[in-house]
Amino acid sequence: MSDSLLPYAVGAAKRARQAAVRMRRRVERLQTAPAFASGIRPRPALHAVHLSVLGGRTLNVALTAPAAVDVTSAHLELTRGGRHLRLDLEVEPQSDGSRLLTATTALRYTDRTDLADHPEEHGPGRAGVALFSGLWRIGVVLTGADGKELRAGVGAVALPTTDGPTAPVSPSPDSGAHFRIMRSVDGFAVLKVRAPVHQAELDRFDLRWDRIVVHGRLIARQGPVSGYTAQAVRRGGGTVVPTPLEWDGDAFTFEVPLAEMVAGGRSYRWDMQLQHGRTGLKIGRRLTDVRRRHQVIRTTFRIIALEDGTLLRAHAYITSAGALAVSCVAFEGAPHGAEEVA
């Protein structure tokens, strides 16, 4: 490298380091819970070999037991608002003489009202641990050979920041709630629970030779299912085409109204949604850890024959925002009974 280019290279390297530091600090702020900063007496912290919520609903814990304590039993403790939940930790000896404290359990969401009405149904058990919204402190209770108990926290862990194909944090595919490991401002690990959002989750759509059938379910339903209707909304034009909706609990099924969506020999993009009062819920795939769903969930164009003999070219796909959209156009010269309907 010539002497004239060296200052530019040094400056570029310096700016890259500064950008990396800013990004690291921003990620740390996003992962830090603004709580537990004061009013709590200092306590020791156990090192977490692994601490995560996998699949949006499974808590996995592996902690290093302190060498100074002859641990005979241990419990993981989740605390919030006067509620304390304990999970048994397995004490696993390692080949190097150390010991790991491990546990795996499912996480479930419940609201405070349901918890107050049925507290016996939401304790630790085979179905997992039921938690309500908020920040839960993660602690460990160690019992030594002398019977004395030692309480400790769990040191914060860093989440991966790479932009991979899957996100390190994802919602629960069952309930839609978010269970996320974060760090407190004093350096301890906490579990943040966020309630599910009112939404329409896409389970699948069937591409057949004569129709497209959508299968989904309501998340955080508001009111009876009779208050919901299914419809196709044309992007840009505002045209709304309703379609019959079938229910099985919170699960719904409907056929895309293709005959009413084909008009004028042009291809339009239609968003599939449920209407509840004045709220339109776009149907989409959101309860997943896949980052670029429109690139992963790929679908082909399909030739569909309607009952009146109309042939059309339809494409049902997932948008970059994760919503379900359908574009369709009738073939020129083919019978076009749909134009009369439109």
pLDDT in tens, 35-74: 554 445 556 889 999 999 999 999 999 999 988 888 889 9
Please state, rounded to an integer, the average pLDDT across all residues of the chain: 83
Identify the weakest region by mean pLDDT among 42-46, 208-212, 252-256, 314-318: 42-46
Alpha-carbon distance of 139 to 184, in angstroms, equals 13
* 273 burial level (CB within 10 Å; 0-12, 13-18, 19+): buried
Q: Averaged over 185-206, what is the pLDDT?
A: 92
pLDDT value at residue 294: 83
pLDDT value at residue 296: 84
Block residue for tokens 């050979």: 145
pLDDT in tens, 85-138: 999 999 999 888 889 999 999 999 998 765 554 454 445 555 689 999 999 999
pLDDT at 336 over 50: no
pLDDT at 204 over 90: yes
Q: Which is more confidently placed, 227 or 265?
A: 227
Taking phi first (over 0 means left), then psi (-120 to 50 degrees means alpha), and beta for anything else, what does residue 332 get? beta
Identify the weakest region by mean pLDDT among 23-37, 167-181, 186-200, 316-330: 23-37
Tokens of 277: 């009062």
pLDDT value at residue 114: 59
* 63 burial level (CB within 10 Å; 0-12, 13-18, 19+): buried
Q: Which is more confidently placed, 187 or 220?
A: 220
pLDDT at 326 over 50: yes
pLDDT value at residue 308: 85
At 10, the pLDDT band (50, 70, 90 cuts) reads: low
Alpha-carbon distance of 274 to 232, in angstroms, equals 9
pLDDT at 319 over 50: yes
pLDDT in tens, 266-311: 788 999 999 999 999 999 999 988 888 888 888 889 999 998 888 9
pLDDT value at residue 290: 85
pLDDT value at residue 197: 94
Provide the residue type at 34 as one letter.
P
pTM: 0.77
| HSE of 146, CA atoms in CB hemisphere, 13 A | 6
